[in-house]
A and B are shown apart, each in its own frame.
Chain A
């Protein structure tokens, strides 16, 4: 294309930012709800921009459904699905999937499991039978289990070298305790991992991987009728056996006294700080006010925690907070990695902001937070993966069909009053657990001198348990 030199026009008025027009409406592509002959729901969202398809099989069972004493079952089951399935070995599966240029992920969270296929549309029909084998007919070979188990045991060992991993695991264990499912990471512990057998994985798979306990989400360059017919061939013969009875994760007992835990990591150049307690489940009446509250507190770049710890004081590269909402109440946590010689100052600033958030939020700050969430909403619906992931949320948490259509209005309806009320309920810093992973010799005296909460010192092994 020819280069067209242009003369600079008159200088624009830079004294104030340009006015914004009305925000563009987002028209979400419709979800076409179908079902296979065995009742397996199929949700299809057509998107024809790029010749690829995303096919997700979501199963209503995750680490929350791990049997007692067998933490890590769901996660290991998901990881083992592509280690042998149908008539193919682990190596044959990997070769077949990669040769198609496909990406086949088998994964799980605390609340659900999933097999997710992303593939160029021209190869969809070649990839679907492999996906169906992996999801429905895994063979769980003993030698592959031992290999994957060893990999996971080694990862647990390596996590003890990594301060953010230590902080996350210690925080969960302290807030939820060693027996509650949320007190231990999804992969389980060294001792539970060693006990898991192929029978445990087969039992988990046969109990929960059933057409009555799953759904398919299809997003991409497909036509609904054709793709449903193709899926019928691969998934239509999948038969339900006994009803899948899920394990209900009990609501964890809330913390009633605050405590600071220093986890000693000699030589650490930073201290990894985690502060919080038991938060809320996904289905809670304060969902929208909490989104706004957290955006103000630590959920955006201009949030108070990030502005304070990064921009104002320069103690950290970044600071944030989050409510991790699961089927049962997950953690609320505020987090940062801070320079070692500013650890106690940082803890104090965290508490200043956590206390401050319970006071009325100024109107402009509230508007900014609501707009950041509401106006930025369209970008969550750009890719096939984005859309499929959002559809999965509707399924796993049984949200109303119109959840996304009403999302923006629900955010914009949040008032300062409501935010203050939910803050008083969910942010009570005097009862929070504070985990600081750092060099004890350089941080303990300063933390004690804060006289903020009682202090306990632990080794990494004590903090993470057996």
Chain B
């Protein structure tokens, strides 16, 4: 498609010099819902003969029950192992033979699946995607569950246990969220819970969450609208609707003191993690905290980077980021000490800089610099239709969040409308010194 860019000339004249790209982002789409409740979003982009088929199921690790953590992600793996009319292994074989790529991912709130096909293979992707949406259990077996259980345990070993500092994020979430809050446990799951997952669990989970009325399908790329709609109706129309899925009732989450913990790992340099509970995705304060993270650690001139890494060089790295989900957000500051430097001296600098931001707003240039960078990423995100973060995935994400698929301009406006005092207010309101988590990873003592 051609990105519609309407220059707002009047606005342009009144803005400072570098803010001269106030273009309207627009991604036209068509939306319809099948009788079984499946929401479908279509977007045309004929720049290359590729089509992205993207499905979000509105279930993630937040829907898991105690004793079965990691299940939503294990289930995601099983979605590639065949269904009633697709033999084990054929899902990938058929797609690769057509020149397609596919993948899936799970987070707290959702599970998404991407298939990127050459335009002639659209119907193959719809056949495969609909067969596993409708008929996954027909050929599911305890052996398949066992096979992917082993793979997922190795994913956990590779990405968490055997990775330097890999266990810190799991510990951090346990400290930040109350035990009964669904963000308390890791999406990858606890080892013993992965061991406990059964074939019966798979059947129950599928019936409850993997129904068309709990999913949305986004198709973007070199498509014809009418033909694509007819194909979607053909392949997905006969899948039975499931029961209603009740929204998650998350208990309130708040910190009322500083929680401290030290853990050890097989690493040479200590690392500090500071964490706060913050607004959920798109809630007031979310975008301001994104800008605050940029003021603190985005680039050489950012406040923490400049002092810790550039000037004093007491840290090897520092990063700050707002990570927000449907049920809540957290703001993290992470810094690794240089050899011979202490976590205490690093933490002192971080606290000084946070206090400075609470006392006085960032400069106009700092905020504008952050917003200009954010704006540029909106354009870069328009280039690819497929994969994670491609246009099909973004349309689906915006739809699920409730703002409508083409929420690009509104999302950008959350940032462009911010003033320095908004950023100051977010830091003051959400990043207090006396209600947070402090986690230190220390090197294991030499044996």
Contact = CB atoms under 8 A, between A and B. Distances in A.
Contacts of A25: 49
A18 to B, nearest CB: 4
A239 interface: no
Nearest to B93: A302
Interface residues of B, number: 96
Contacts of A120: 21, 375-376, 379
A49 interface: yes
Interface hub of A337, A338, A367, A379 (most chain B Cβ within 10 A): A379
Interface hub of A24, A25, A157, A300 (most chain B Cβ within 10 A): A24
Nearest to A15: B85
A109 B33 CA distance: 49
A414 to B, nearest CB: 15
A122 B118 contact: no
A51 B99 contact: no
B127 A18 contact: yes
Contacts of A15: 85
A6 B99 contact: no
B260 interface: no
Nearest to A14: B85
A371 B163 CA distance: 36
A6 B35 contact: yes
B267 interface: yes
A269 B372 contact: no
A362 interface: no
Interface stretch (A35-43, A90-98, A420-428): A90-98
B150 A4 contact: no
Taking residues whose C-beta sits less than 8 angstroms from the other chain, chain A's interface range is 35 or more
A90 B300 contact: yes
A199 interface: no
A158 B385 contact: no
Interface in A371-397: 371-379, 381-385
B299 A94 contact: yes
A126 B118 contact: no
B180 interface: no
A22 interface: yes
Contact of A376 (B118, B127, B235, B310): B118
Given A50-B382, A157-B268, A269 B162 contact: yes
A26 interface: yes
A371 B99 contact: yes
B171 interface: no
B34 interface: yes
B139 interface: no
Contacts of B50: 378-379, 382
Interface string B413-440: 0000000000000000000000000000
Contact of A123 (B18, B32, B149, B161): B18
Contact of B120 (A8, A23, A267, A307): A23
B409 interface: no
Nearest to B239: A8
B20 interface: yes
A371 B92 CA distance: 13
A292 interface: no
Contacts of A18: 123-124, 127
Interface stretch (B64-72, B105-113, B152-160, B274-282): B152-160
A73 interface: no
A147 interface: yes
Given A147-B310, A314-B150, A122 B21 contact: yes
Contacts of A91: 300-301, 306, 310
Interface in A1-21: 1, 3-9, 11-12, 14-15, 17-18, 20-21
Contact of A101 (B21, B120, B338): B21
B164 A162 contact: yes
A69 B350 CA distance: 40
A24 B339 contact: no
Contacts of B178: none
B118 A24 contact: yes
Nearest to B90: A17
B196 interface: no
A270 B157 contact: yes
A6 B97 contact: no
A382 B383 contact: yes
A336 B368 CA distance: 45
A268 B162 contact: yes
A162 to B, nearest CB: 5
A347 to B, nearest CB: 16
A102 interface: yes
Interface string A74-92: 0000000000000000110
Nearest to B232: A6
Contacts of B124: 17-18, 20
A137 interface: no
Contact of A52 (B31, B92, B116, B380): B380
Contact of B127 (A17, A47, A126, A154): A17
A292 to B, nearest CB: 13
A395 B146 CA distance: 49
B316 interface: yes
Interface in B40-75: 45, 47-50
A237 B34 CA distance: 63
A53 B267 CA distance: 41
A315 B154 contact: yes
Nearest to B370: A98
A252 B269 CA distance: 36
A20 B98 contact: yes
Given A150-B313, A268-B162, A301-B92, A99 B35 contact: no
Interface in A266-291: 266-270
Contacts of B148: 314
A119 B379 CA distance: 9
Nearest to A92: B301
A119 B376 contact: yes
B255 interface: no
A270 B164 contact: no
A49 B99 contact: no
B316 A14 contact: no
A194 B235 CA distance: 63
B119 A154 contact: no
Interface hub of B2, B84, B150, B300 (most chain A Cβ within 10 A): B300
B163 A123 contact: no
B379 A371 contact: no
A339 interface: yes
A26 B50 CA distance: 10
Given A3-B32, A6-B233, A374 B99 contact: yes
A372 B116 CA distance: 12
Nearest to A89: B300
A401 interface: no
Given A14-B127, A91-B310, A379-B50, 11 more contacts: A5-B33, A18-B123, A23-B99, A23-B118, A98-B373, A101-B18, A118-B380, A161-B267, A270-B158, A302-B93, A337-B158
Top 8 A-B pairs ranked by shortest CB distance?
Answer: A375-B99, A314-B150, A101-B376, A24-B49, A8-B237, A376-B99, A101-B372, A94-B300
20 contacts: A3-B32, A20-B120, A23-B99, A47-B47, A50-B3, A50-B380, A91-B306, A94-B299, A119-B376, A120-B376, A123-B18, A158-B269, A162-B164, A267-B266, A270-B157, A314-B154, A337-B162, A371-B98, A378-B49, A379-B386
